[in-house]
Structure 1
Amino acid sequence: MNDFSDTALTPETATLLIVDDVPENLEVLAELLQSRYRVRAAQSGARALQVACTPPRPDLILLDVMMPDMDGFEVAARLRADPATRDIPVIFVTALDGVQEEEHGLELGAVDYISKPLRPSIVLARVNTQLELKRARDHLRDHNEFLEAEVARRMGENQLIQDVSIRALARLAEIRDPEMGYHLQRTQAYVELLARSLRDHPRFADTLTPRTILLLGKSAPLHDIGKVGIPDHILLKPGKLTPDEWEIMKTHAKLGSDAIELAEKDEAQPVAFLTFAKEIARHHHERWDGSGYPDGLRGDEIPLSARLMALADVFDALTTRRVYKAPMSMETARRIIVEGRGNHFDPDVVDAFLAAFDGFAEIALHYRDEFPEIDAPQSTTARD
């Protein structure tokens, strides 16, 4: 069946699809509608489904009910089931005048029901009403999509600002120590890798959701922010610290958590990643057996975020050059981490480290530092 058209139509003219198995009925509807609208026609249900999916797509479908092979009810059901056509309004045009048939059509999603024989004024009024309603729905949908896109854009900008701010704060500690290199990137990646490796573990599955893992990654770079408060002669000392110097060095954990806590107080509501950042900053030097600092927490008393960072930080300190030590090999660092299982580190976190060891090695290689070779005192102690 050919489409009906009028040379006076504009690109903004609504497109109607009329469906009827009787050619004379199509001619009558086309004669009535084509002066106002772009009219397409289909003489069967199967053809109607094809036309509805091809441009120009109809803005409204006038659908006969009583057709052979596939009746109008089935056509309407298939239109509604297809995402490409489900939002096209359908008006049933039929000689059936039973209440049950009309109710069934409306249940299938029809927006109106026109009975035959057709009265031109009724048809034009119903068509115009439904097209106006569709234009209003389309406008509302487009407006909502614009608002959603704008919200997403602004959230993206806010997220970028937040990420840059986190990185800038974390860099404050690095500026104090030019040998830190890619320490932040490595430890962040190590923490994320450990968290992903543990997300299906019975102990951690409820905690390590995708959002939590994301927040852990965001907060990890702030773990050493407290080092901005440590004097240079201690932070950059090339040899072993004295007991008094060591006590001052250990204060960086509390200094960092206190600084983050002050930042939290400036916010009207809790900021999730700052909660993790505060935990990590204060407790990433705690030890599983309770011999760590600053609070001597033991076992599960230590926040999971800090337990992950504890291993990530020590591994990075062992395998990279510091002013007070030369780097160790990956295998040596691996052995030291294993020796710390159950005393320094959560045993399950160590097991996750061993399972993901190749990933740790890849991260270390990807973010390797390129400092000039210098002689450095050997040490098996990670001071970070």
Structure 2
Amino acid sequence: MHAASEAHTPSERPRILLVDDLPANLAVLVEFLQDDYELRLAPSGERALELARQLPRPQLILLDVMMPGLDGYETCRRLKADPLTQHIPVIFLTARNEEQDEMLGLSLGAVDYLSKPVSMAILHARVRTHLQLHAVAEFFRDKSALLDAEVQRRTEEVESLQDAVVIALVSLGEARDHETGNHLRRTQHYVLELAEALSDHPRFAGALPPEQRRVLFKSAPLHDIGKVGIPDAILLKPGRLSPEEFELMKNHTVLGHAALVRAEQYLGRRLAFFECAKEVALSHQEWWDGSGYPQGLAGEAIPLSARLMAVADVYDALISRRPYKKPWTHADAVAHIQKESGTHFDPDVVAAFTALAPRFAEIAAQFRDPDEAG
């Protein structure tokens, strides 16, 4: 006589996979469990693995140990190694009742180990308990997956908004400084190439992981955003600036940095994006030897992001047409940057740039300004 029925409807009944090579043993289990559970039968470990993967998957497996072919231990090991079946609880039902046998079964991931002949009342209680625990675990796994999906969705929303703000700000800068053209897009890609090339350099170990490179790529277009605050008479002057005008032009680094600081303060939290954007806006005109501006930083006191931007910015300025100069050739621009290694630029960044020079030329061609196309 088996335990009282739990009155499940057929569609609601928990699914149990019974695995035993002896039909008589399966028949006993079926007689005891069939009223309360949806049962699947497997006469071997190999068949058990097949049925466990089929949808809807079982919610519990009762598994014999001593079977020809795949024994119960190896079957359990394979179930737990498969992402599709690893969360299905396994109860061993076996005549092997030595302590080391039980320890082995539990070490393989089984939730319980019952020795034959098993009390049907105990089996019923264990089955019900582990089905309930499995249902709770599945509930929390589902909730965790939903939370992960929601976090991912919110993250994507924030990143999309961030990208839109960057585009709006960059567009504002381009509207005032029409000669900028695709300069910001080119420098964005130059910087990414340099960062990827230097990501495994001993000097920069840990400083340029994938996430930091992504942030650098996204924030790089803001390096000249401070030019929005420079008067038109200086920003749009069709010729070289006087020393006094150049001093005013230098303020674009400070203005850009200050604007980003205010934006971050308004947000009320620190973000890697703002940290990187502030660095490149403020320090991309610093020189390795300390003769740059606005702070006169030297060497590694200059943020790495700004050192990368310095090379990208100068290269693009050299190869671009300006009212006061014709565009330099790619070869001449490369030679100039190599010459400035150790004075204007970080020598290791210049070495990476030299190796990447053909790639820089490709980026320049891909994002050339419309008036230079063809």
Give the structure-2-normalised TM-score: 0.89
1:191 touches 1:309 (CA, 8 Å); kept in 2? yes
Q: Distance in 2 between matches of 1:71 and 1:34?
A: 25
With 109-118 and 207-216 compared, the bigger mean Cα shift is at 109-118
The one-letter code sitting in structure 1 at the alignment partner of 2:179 is E
With 84-93 and 165-174 compared, the bigger mean Cα shift is at 165-174
Q: CA deviation at 1:167?
A: 2.7
User: Kindly, what percent of the aligned residue pairs are identical?
Assistant: 54
1:9 touches 1:37 (CA, 8 Å); kept in 2? no
Q: Give 1:302's aligned residue.
A: 302
Q: CA deviation at 1:56?
A: 4.2
Q: Give 1:360's aligned residue.
A: 360
Q: Distance in 2 between matches of 1:335 and 1:82?
A: 57
Q: CA deviation at 1:116?
A: 3.3
With 230-239 and 32-41 compared, the bigger mean Cα shift is at 32-41
Q: CA deviation at 1:119?
A: 4.3
Q: CA deviation at 1:219?
A: 2.1
Q: Give 1:83's aligned residue.
A: 83
Q: Give 1:28's aligned residue.
A: 28
Q: Distance in 1 between matches of 2:21 and 2:97?
A: 19
Q: Distance in 1 between matches of 2:132 and 2:355?
A: 62
Q: Distance in 2 between matches of 1:21 and 1:278?
A: 69
Q: Distance in 2 between matches of 1:59 and 1:172?
A: 59
Q: Give 1:224's aligned residue.
A: 224
Q: 1:370 to 1:115 in 2, by over 3 A?
A: same
Q: CA deviation at 1:372?
A: 7.4
Q: 1:279 to 1:10 in 2, by over 3 A?
A: same
Q: Are 1:165 and 2:153 an aligned pair?
A: no
Q: Give 1:239's aligned residue.
A: 239
Q: 1:116 to 1:286 in 2, by over 3 A?
A: closer
Q: Distance in 2 between matches of 1:360 and 1:36?
A: 70
Q: CA deviation at 1:343?
A: 2.4
Q: 1:324 to 1:132 in 2, by over 3 A?
A: same
Q: Give 1:40's aligned residue.
A: 40
Question: Helix, strand or coil: the match of 1:84?
Answer: coil
Q: Distance in 2 between matches of 1:370 and 1:136?
A: 61
1:136-171 deviations in whole A, cap 9, x for unaligned?
A: 211111111001111111011112112222232233
Q: Give 2:3's aligned residue.
A: none
Gaps of 5+ in 1: 1-7, 374-384
Q: Distance in 2 between matches of 1:301 and 1:82?
A: 50
Q: Give 1:183's aligned residue.
A: 183
Aligned residue pairs total 366
1:260 touches 1:278 (CA, 8 Å); kept in 2? yes
Q: Give 2:154's aligned residue.
A: 154
Alignment of 1:1-384 (within 5 A): 10-371=10-371
Q: 1:75 to 1:315 in 2, by over 3 A?
A: same
Q: CA deviation at 1:185?
A: 1.0
1:225 touches 1:256 (CA, 8 Å); kept in 2? yes
Q: Distance in 1 between matches of 2:372 and 2:93?
A: 84
Q: 1:371 to 1:42 in 2, by over 3 A?
A: same
The answer to which structure has the higher helix fraction is 2
Q: Distance in 2 between matches of 1:55 and 1:275?
A: 49
The one-letter code sitting in structure 2 at the alignment partner of 1:60 is L
The one-letter code sitting in structure 1 at the alignment partner of 2:86 is R
The one-letter code sitting in structure 2 at the alignment partner of 1:28 is V
Q: 1:241 to 1:97 in 2, by over 3 A?
A: closer
Q: Distance in 1 between matches of 2:257 and 2:55?
A: 61
Q: Distance in 2 between matches of 1:51 and 1:362?
A: 55
Q: CA deviation at 1:345?
A: 1.8
1:337-370 deviations in whole A, cap 9, x for unaligned?
A: 2232232222222211110011111111111110
Q: Distance in 1 between matches of 2:93 and 2:288?
A: 76
Question: Helix, strand or coil: the match of 1:17?
Answer: strand
Q: Distance in 2 between matches of 1:61 and 1:100?
A: 21
The one-letter code sitting in structure 2 at the alignment partner of 1:39 is L
Q: 1:206 to 1:146 in 2, by over 3 A?
A: closer
Q: Distance in 2 between matches of 1:279 and 1:87?
A: 47
